[in-house]
Amino acid sequence: MTTVIMRTTARIVVPIVLIVAISLLIEGHNLPGGGFIAGVLTSTAFVIVYIAFGLDFLERGVLGRDVDPGKTPSRDRVVVAYRRLFTVGLAIAVGSGLVPLALDHPFLSQSYIVLEGVPLYHHLEIASALAFDLGVYCVVIGGLLTIISVVGAE
């Protein structure tokens, strides 16, 4: 599938997909979307990159690292990063649950504040649930991409 059509399409589609994913994450509290969908969508963008350019592209082409041709894919630095990502995601999710405990609320209680008069937005609402959603997002991306890159390499 590493054809020219595929590569050209991927170059255009992947940024769009990523932006849509991020907007789904941020808007998820009020419009359709949320951390899980955004995570899966982001993973899909990565999968498109994988299919169009191959598994090593991210390390070699994007990050500009040398890839040791003899090593097993599960030890790729990218895979290590994915693993770190879902660890970080879990930490964010649990951490966002622990903060209310410190403020004498039950575990995982959420709240929100409304900011008025913010430039550009005028009216901005920040929900603490966004932190939890960010955790969900990170775990989903990290988990799915770990699985896909490792299974794909097989």
Partner 1 sequence: MPPELSVVLAVVTAPFAVAGVTPLLIRSLGEKTGYAGAAVAAFCFALLGTQYGSEGTVELAWIPSLEVALRFYVDGWALLFALLASGIGALVFLYSPAYMHGESGLARYYAALLAFMGSIIGIALAADLIAIFLFWELTSLCSFVLIGFHTDDASSQYAARMAMLVTVGGGLFVLVGFLLLAFVAGDVVGPGTSAFDLAAMLNRPDEMQTALREAGLFVPVLGLLAVGAATKSAQVPLHFWLPNAMAAPTPVSAFLHSATMVKVGVYFVGRIRPLFASLEWVMLFATLGLATMTICALLAVAATDIKELLAYSTASHLGLMIAGFGFTSIVGAETGVFHLFNHALFKAALFLIAGIIAHETGTRRLDELGGLRHDLPVTAFLTAIVALSMGGIPPFSGFYSKELLFEATVEASHHHDLGPLDWLYPVVAVFGSIFTVLYSLRFLALFFGRQPDSLDHVHRPPVILLVSPAVLAALTAVVSIDPELAVRAIVQAGIDATAVDPGTHEMHVGLPTSYSPAVGMSAVAIGSGVLAYPFYDSIHRSIRSIPRTVPPIGANWWYDAIIERLTDDGAWLASRVHNGLLRTYATWTLTATCVLALAGFVATDAAIPTALAGLDVPIPAALVLSLAVVAGLAVVTADSHVAGILTLSILGFMIAIFYILASAPDLALTQLVVETLVLVIFLLVVEEIPEYYEVSLGRIARDAALSVLVGATAFITVLLTTDARPVGESAIARYYTEHAVPEGGGQNIVNVILVDFRSFDTLGELVVIAVAAISILTLIVMRARGDETRSDESSVAIEDAEGGSANEPRESHETRGESE
Summarize as ranges the residues that interact with partner 1 (CB under 8 A). 1-2, 24, 28-37, 40-41, 43-44, 47, 51, 54-56, 68-75, 77, 79-80, 83, 86-87, 89-90, 93-94, 97, 107-108, 110-112, 114, 125, 127, 129, 132-133, 135-136, 139-140, 142-144, 146-148, 150-154
136, 93 contact by CB (below 8 A): yes
Distance, C-alpha 108 to centroid of its chain:
21
- CB 52, min distance to partner 1, A: 10
Classify each residue of 129-151 as buried b or exposed e, where b means 16 or more C-beta atoms within 10 Å of its C-beta: bbbbbbbbbbbbbbbbbbebbbe
- CB 89, min distance to partner 1, A: 7
Residue nearer to partner 1 on the CB measure, 11 or 27: 27
Instruction: Report the sign of the C-alpha dihedral through residues 66, 68, 73, 74, in that order.
Output: negative
Residue nearer to partner 1 on the CB measure, 11 or 108: 108
